[in-house]
Amino acid sequence: MSRNMFIALICILSIGVVPFVSEEEWVRITLTSIGCFGYAIFGYPVIAALVDTVVLRVLADQKELYGRQKIGVPIGFASSVFLTGLLAEKLNSLYALFIVFTFCNLAFIATVWLTEFEPQYTTIKDDQYGSTASSPILIEDDDRLAEEYQQEEQVQQQQSILALLKEPEAIKFFTFMSMMGFSIAVVQAFLYLYMENDLEATPAIVGLFGPLGSSTEVICFFFSKQNGFP
Q: pLDDT by residue (tens digit) across 40-99?
A: 888 887 777 777 777 777 777 777 777 777 777 788 888 888 888 888 888 888 888 899
Q: Please say if the pLDDT value at position 25 is more than 50.
A: yes
Q: Alpha-carbon dihedral of residues 77, 79, 80, 82, nearest 10 degrees?
A: 120
Domain edges within the chain: 1-59, 62-121+158-229
Q: Please say if the pLDDT value at position 131 is more than 50.
A: no
Q: Please say if the pLDDT value at position 124 is more than 80.
A: no
37: how many CB neighbours lie within 10 A of its CB?
11
145 band by pLDDT with thresholds 50, 70 and 90 = low
Higher pLDDT, 70 or 107: 107
Q: If you ran DSSP here, which 8-state letter would residue 175 be given?
A: H
Taking phi over 0 as left and psi of -120 to 50 as alpha, with beta for the rest, 141 belongs to beta
Is the entire prediction scored with pTM above 0.85? no
Q: Please say if the pLDDT value at position 179 is more than 90.
A: no
Q: CB-based contacts of 5: which residues, under 8 Å, 6+ apart?
A: 42, 43, 46, 105, 108, 109, 112
